[in-house]
Amino acid sequence: MAELGVEPPTVQIDVHLDSTGAHVVVLSGELDSSNAATLQERVESIPPQPTQRLIFDLTGLRFMDSAGIAVLIGAVRNASSVSLRNPSPIIQRVLETTGLSNVFSIEP
Amino acid sequence: MKAPGSLGRWPPSWVAVAALLTGLIVTGALVLTSAAVYTRSERRLLNLRVRELSLVLAATAPSIQTPLASAAELANATGGSSQKFREFMAPYVGPGRQFTSVSLWPLGTSHLAPSAVLGSAPVLASMPERATQFFTRSTRAGVLNLTSFLSSPHPALGFDFSAPGRAHGFAVYAEKPLPADRRSSLEKNSAFSDLNYALYLGHSERTSDVLVTSLQRLPVEGRQAADVVPFGAGVFTIVVSPIGSLGGAFFERLPWIIALVGLLVSLAAALMTDRLARRRRYAEQLVGVLDQVAAENREMYTEQRSIAQTLQHALLPDALPDFDGLQVGARYVPAASGIDVGGDWYDTVPVGDGQMLIMIGDVSGHGLRAATTMASLRHAALAYAAQDPSPSFVLAQLSDFVNSGAHDYFATMLCALIDVGAHRLTVASAGHIPPLLIDGTGGQFVELDANVPIGVMRKSPYLQKTFSVGPDTTLIAFTDGLVERRGEVLDVGLARLREAATHAALSLEDLLSELAQGLASEGHHDDTAIVGIRWQN
């Protein structure tokens, strides 16, 4: 793809259960429309339960566009609670602008 | 396109030919050098051999002189006794011995003749004039004198010795026959069996002066060396030429060995170089093929992108409405790269009573699905606006419309209801970036409740705000592509936009063009919609 002048960004996704029984999705890299579908699949593979709690750890995430936000919003519909952990100031600002800081609970 | 496998073997690559030529030149130089070294060492060896042979020949002189000198002393002492002379010389004369003929000559008489003869009659005795001249003029006493009968039917070499200081003493004369054809090979086990030779009398190399030679034909040809051999009062000249190689067969063949090995190495190097050159050419062809494929891909990509853009434009309004007292402009700037079109849209709709509704939005994601979603949202929004143009109503209805079905997207959207005559502005945002308001005091972003985007949750309220604006106010609404950059906080992009929009007093069209060009020149990655309005008073 380098000939086309497009270097696809990469995102690393790691899902694990923490001690409280919540699924933690650790994201790092850059999340955009070129790789949001990958995250979507990983999130959908988490078994849906009425008491499901999801935590997106955004510590290592440098960039997230609207396609990435759409995946997070989609997760809200399938879980009892969704938290975003430690978003960068850049992402925090995007969440504020889009009015989503009230939809997710944001952990420092 | 030539198939990469069909490379011919001919013509060879120029670099292989160059390698071959270089190898041949180096080989040639080595061959010439080794040949020159060989020739030089052969010449040097030949010169050594001829010196050796010359010394050996010279060393035979005493074996001839000694018996003759002893006989001459004996004759003087015995007054020329024939008997004593014969007794002394008998062991030296006869077939297989040193001489064929030995004779005693009394000197000092007018008619010279031998007084005693052993063996056959001397040839010299049959030539009285020659004998007189020989003994009276040509010979010196006390040294071995030489003469020869080369044209005689019985060619022979004659030796004379007379004791010094006695003018009327005796001369002892001996003859040694030469082979009639002068041919005599050296013995096979001789130290000089590797040489052909020719022995001449005197300082001569004339064929008529040859005494004996191993060659069938004279003169000596090819590589040769000569030396002068002092022999008694006279000299011989010896000329030799090698039969084979004096330094050994290996050194004689060395130039040929070098030539053969060099030729083989050069050929091998050329073949290997040719092979490498072909592989390189093949790789270059492959690169060419890849370039072509890449070019074709680029073309297809451009084509796809152009189709998507055509669709996008088809979904956007054809023309902006004319509105009394208000300038309206819009730009749609496609992303500089990427196949996918964005889901950005805008509308400017007159809604009666001197009012106009501006709607601008952005569906999450890219591609055909975002574009078709955008189209359905846009038409739904137009329908709700026809019902009630109030921004909070339009957004709330649209949100419920989207949330009533299953979906996996969301959209940010801004609605602004413009009352032209009242200089009033009512704005609501669904998670969209606020618009920029520019008036005589500068530019500022409208402060709004963010609300949630369309498609996030049902029954969420969309709060709107109403502002009064002064004359000539400009409103710039836009989608995030205009201000959002990777690795940059949004506020930096907002400040950049405000600076770009207020640094000069431009007409609305020029301002929109400048903003669009600024985007295009930086190679942005997201589609962007920009809508601007300006009160004309």
Quick one: closest CA in A to B302, which residue? A4
| Residue A31 at interface with chain B, using a CB cutoff of 8 Å | no
From the candidates A66, A77, A93, A102, which should be mutated to test the interface with B, based on the most B CB atoms within 10 A? A66
pLDDT of B512 reads 95
B234-242 and B326-333 beta bridge pairing: unpaired
Rounded CA gap, B504 and B509, in Å? 13
Rounded CA gap, B76 and B84, in Å? 11
Which residue in B366, B410, B432 is closest to A33 by CB distance? Answer: B366
Question: Comparing C-alpha atoms, which of B273, B277, B201 is closest to residue B236?
Answer: B201
Q: Which residue ranges of chain B lie beneath pLDDT 50?
A: 1-7
From the candidates B297, B300, B364, which should be mutated to test the interface with A, based on the most A CB atoms within 10 A? B364
Contacts of A107 (CB under 8 A, 6+ apart): A55, A83, A84, A85, A86
> Could you give the C-alpha distances from B332 to B305, B313, B315, B531, in angstroms and in order?
15, 8, 12, 9
The interaxial angle of helices B61-77 and B14-59, nearest 10 deg, is 10
Chain A with chain B: Cβ pairs closer than 8 A: 83
Rounded CA gap, B40 and B87, in Å? 54
Domain boundaries, chain B: 60-177, 316-535
> Could you give the C-alpha distances from B385 to A101, B348, B382, B423, B431, in angstroms and in order?
28, 11, 5, 20, 19
- Inter-chain residue contact A90 with B430, CB threshold 8 Å: no
Contacts of B406 (CB under 8 A, 6+ apart): none
Q: Are B476 and B436 in contact (CB under 8 A)?
A: yes
Q: Are B464 and B428 in contact (CB under 8 A)?
A: yes
Using a CB-CB cut-off of 8 Å, the residues of chain A touching B453 are: 73, 98-100
Contacts of B343 (CB under 8 A, 6+ apart): B362, B363, B364, B365, B366, B370, B371, B373, B374, B409, B411
Neighbours of B468 (CB within 10 A): 10
User: What phi and psi values does residue B220 have, to the nearest 5 degrees?
Assistant: -65, 135
pLDDT of B126 reads 84
pLDDT of B314 reads 73
Q: Tell me if ipTM is over 0.90.
A: no
pLDDT tens per residue across span A48-107: 777 888 999 999 999 888 889 989 988 887 788 899 999 999 999 999 999 998 888 898
> Could you give the C-alpha distances from B336 to B433, B514, B517, B524, in angstroms and in order?
22, 16, 12, 6
The interaxial angle of helices B368-387 and B249-315, nearest 10 deg, is 10
- For chain B, the 3-state helix, strand and coil shares in percent, each to the nearest 5, are 40, 25, 35
Strand ordering across the sheet containing A23-31:
A11-17, A23-31, A53-64, A81-85, A105-107
Rounded CA gap, B29 and A58, in Å? 75
Contacts of B117 (CB under 8 A, 6+ apart): B101, B102, B103, B104, B125
pLDDT tens per residue across span B240-278: 988 888 777 888 888 899 999 999 999 999 999 888 988
pLDDT of B321 reads 84
- Angstroms from B486 CA to nearest CA on chain A: 6
pLDDT > 50? residue A5: no
User: What distance lies between CA B399 and its chain's CA centroid?
Assistant: 72
pLDDT tens per residue across span B431-445: 999 999 999 889 999
What is the residue whose two structure tokens read 């997760």? A75
* CATH ID of B60-177, from 1.10.3470, 3.30.450, 3.40.50, 2.40.160: 3.30.450
| Residue A96 at interface with chain B, using a CB cutoff of 8 Å | yes
Angle at B474 (CA atoms; ends B470, B475), nearest 5 degrees: 115
What letter does residue B323 receive in the DSSP assignment? B
Domain boundaries, chain A: 9-107
CA dihedral A21, A26, A31, A35 (to 10 degrees): -80
User: What phi and psi values does residue B30 have, to the nearest 5 degrees?
Assistant: -65, -40
What is the residue whose two structure tokens read 């930086």? B522
Quick one: closest CA in A to B462, which residue? A99
- Return the structure tokens found at A95: 């969440």
Q: Are B68 and B172 in contact (CB under 8 A)?
A: yes
Rounded CA gap, B30 and B348, in Å? 91
> At the fourth CATH level, which superfamily is domain A9-107?
STAS domain (3.30.750.24)
- Inter-chain residue contact B364 with A70, CB threshold 8 Å: yes
pLDDT > 50? residue A1: no
The interaxial angle of helices A89-97 and B490-502, nearest 10 deg, is 70
3-state secondary structure of B535: strand
- Inter-chain residue contact A3 with B457, CB threshold 8 Å: no
- For chain A, the 3-state helix, strand and coil shares in percent, each to the nearest 5, are 35, 35, 35
- Return the structure tokens found at B166: 């006695």
pLDDT > 70? residue A8: no
- The DSSP secondary structure of B195-216, one letter per residue, reads EEEEEEESS---GGGEEEES-S
Domain range B316-535, CATH class: alpha beta
Rounded CA gap, B480 and B160, in Å? 134
